[in-house]
Amino acid sequence: MGGRLSALDPMEVPVPELHVLLERDQYLKPYEREIRRRYAVFSDSLERIDNELGGLDAFTRGYETFGIHVNHDNSISCKEWAPGAKQLYLTGEFNNWNRHSHPFMKCDFGVWNLDIPACEGSCPIEHLSEIKICVQTRNGDMVDRISPWATYAVKPGPNQGQAYKHLFWNPPHYLKYFPNAPRPRKPNGLRIYECHIGIATNECRVGSYKEFATNVVPRIIKLGYNTVQIMAIMEHAYYASFGYQVTSFFAASSRFGTPDDLKELVDICHQAGLYVLLDIVHSHASKNVLDGLNEFDGTDSCYFHSGPRGVHPLWDSRLFDYSQPEVLRFLLSNLRWYYEEYKFDGFRFDGVTSMLYHNRGTQGFSGDYNEYFGLNVDTDALIYLMLANHVMRITCPNTITIAEDVSGMPALCRPVDEGGIGFDYRLGMAIPDKWIELLKTKRDDEWDMGNIVHTLTNRRWMEKTIAYAESHDQALVGDKTIAFWLMDKEMYSGMSLLFEAGPIIDRGIALHKMIRLLTHSLGGEGYLNFIGNEFGHPEWLDFPRVGNNESYHYARRQWNLVDDTNLRYHQLGDFDSAMNLAESKYNWLQAQPAYISWKHESDKVIVFERAGLLFAFNFHPTKSFPDYRVGINEAGTYRIVLDTDQKQYGGYSRLSGDIDYTTQSEPYAGRKCSFQVKLLQKFYLCNVKYVFLCCYLC
């Protein structure tokens, strides 16, 4: 696609708002030709969809015609794209597995059609009966495949092999779930609860959609999050892949329940006012052949690049050929499917860095703009992402899209009409890396305040960032959560409130709150937390596999710990709730980036203003500051609104919330006025109790 543009001068291609992008970042000016070229290819793709492929709306609703469908008269219509196949057949329980009785008819451009009449007015294929696509390859072999558009695939029973089965999903009307809650408004300040349905139970097994709706959604509401990001929904045969080795893109994972169970879960989230994001995986696909997309038509291409370009060297998975119109139809329709069918509100795109570069982003990025506009950039993938975001804006205007990108691609989160790629947010992936690096390699008295502040604020102007201290990546076995890095030596013995906290627990609980709140308030325009980490979940995450004797012990969440009011986990959970409540009241995520007035290395103090709040952090390992002067621009009287030292959050309540701090006319730290605050610490040998102070103008 886009070959017709080769004769055009990219400088002549009109990009509606490119001047806005270039004025905002003049370092992009030398790359104007390349930005225009990208936009030209994008425009050509849209033009082709409109003029040759039926229009954008129909093109992105491919699920309405492709796959297997029941018509109003109960007849069946089937449609598949298999350009490399010699012949296709539909087989299954409905025809006693006859491989030849129901042949498809070959049409143009590698598309195959099959119509099956109703049987005495009834559907010829029963609900939940097994079906397969039988493919005759070019060399005459007959191989069984699952339709790429399958909407329900299940794990086989004992002694029935390993490959998932495609069951025909066509429940009677009275068994269907019909969502009725309106979609919530798009949040301006995202407070995201990242979660996984299977591990959300306390028991050593796979959790369900229904259990999550009943047991976990109320927790999310209580914690003050306004958005749920659900992982591992697209069907994946290997549970331990965390949902990132997708086998059936249109099938919601059956290990958690039925498609209607998922619809009910999303509807219950909407009833509670939660915005629901789907973790979408369009960067690669499982190499599985019998229950995946791989070799669907008997060739090594079809949906993927042929040869080495079609294989991810690190993930051992297949890579899409985004230049193919039918691949674009498949993936864009996949977005519409989850938006329309299941009512997901938006998408977190996984593996964007891998998509954007021919070397899959395996090298480090220095920030040199040549890295973002050179030959290493995969134009086909970039144009697909532009199309995906454009489709969401045009057809699903309430959506939010988030990019998992570590490279720092400029204009990733600017509108397509500016020459950007169109995402709303990018994940601030350098932030958790920085916290883990500090916890792994340095004592807390060696932490560099300037380096921490730089990491938290080093983001592109007017490109929104989701900040997080840790996500599922840091929770996986082989790494440690922040709580584990801080307290693993005493986490199994020192978390009871019946005994005084020792120095490791005291220090760990204090830093756990400080790290999260500093990240929340300074790191971006959104905040993310992984399920259970808000209360310092005591163990890593490890799915059942051969290496752990198929154990579910570490593939669950121990809610009993946070529910027990005699444990310190409960206090950490309460602080997380208070932190989100404060943000919902003062809206710092929606505000302009913070003004940092003070980052003092020897004092280990960070002070900044955001959304009318003054934030002050004391990270010093040995010093208290009973009268520490802080600068602020707006004169008046201030009062503490959030303090990590409060007893209910595991502190000692040494600061009174009733104290008023009245500004003095003395300028300080580059601000118009100032006042003195108490920044305290508690000695435990060389360990400390840190205090965070957040003040608001009365």
Compute the distance between CA of residue 183 and CA of residue 273 in angstroms, rounded to an integer.
Answer: 8
In terms of Cα–Cα distance, which of 249, 420, 423 is closest to 347? 423
∠ Cα 505 509 513 (to 5°): 170
Q: Where are the alpha helices (DSSP H) in 14-134?
A: 18-24, 32-52, 56-59
Q: How many CA within 13 A on the CB side of residue 229?
A: 24
Q: Where are the alpha helices (DSSP H) in 407-469?
A: 430-441, 449-457
501, 567 Cβ separation under 8 angstroms:
no
The residue length of the chain stands at 698
Residue 419 tokens read as: 């020459």
Residue 284 tokens read as: 């690669």
Q: Among residues 404, 424, 525, 645, which one is catalytic?
A: 404
350 is catalytic: yes
Rg (CA), the chain: 27
DSSP 8-state class, residue 119: B
500 is catalytic: no
Strand-pairing partners, residue 190, are: 526
DSSP 522-570: HS-SEEEEETTGGGT-SS-B----GGGTT--TTSS--HHHHH-TTBHHH
Compute the distance between CA of residue 429 and CA of residue 434 in angstroms, rounded to an integer.
Answer: 9
DSSP 646-696: -GGGTS---S-TT-EEE-BS--BTTBSEEEEEEE---EETTEE--EEEEEE
355, 283 Cβ separation under 8 angstroms:
yes
In terms of Cα–Cα distance, which of 71, 108, 5, 91 is closest to 326? 108
Compute the distance between CA of residue 541 and CA of residue 160 in angstroms, rounded to an integer.
Answer: 29
520, 583 Cβ separation under 8 angstroms:
yes
CA distances from 335 to 54, 201, 331, 348 (A): 18, 28, 7, 11
Compute the distance between CA of residue 78 and CA of residue 104 in angstroms, rounded to an integer.
Answer: 8
Strand-pairing partners, residue 660, are: 639
Strands (E), 455-525: 464-467
Residues 6+ apart with CB under 8 A from 159: none
Compute the distance between CA of residue 438 and CA of residue 452 in angstroms, rounded to an integer.
Answer: 9
∠ Cα 530 480 556 (to 5°): 50
Strand-pairing partners, residue 252, are: 234
Please state the φ and ψ torsions of residue 258, each to the nearest 5 degrees: -90, 165
Q: How many CB atoms lie within 10 A of CB 489?
A: 13
**Number of H helices and number of E strands within the chain?**
16, 31
Largest CA distance in the chain: 90
Q: How many CB atoms lie within 10 A of CB 133?
A: 27
Compute the distance between CA of residue 78 and CA of residue 381 in angstroms, rounded to an integer.
Answer: 29
Strand-pairing partners, residue 610, are: 613
Environment class of 490 (CB within 10 Å of its CB; exposed 0-12, middle 13-18, buried 19+): middle
Residue 659 tokens read as: 């104290």
Active site residues: 350, 404
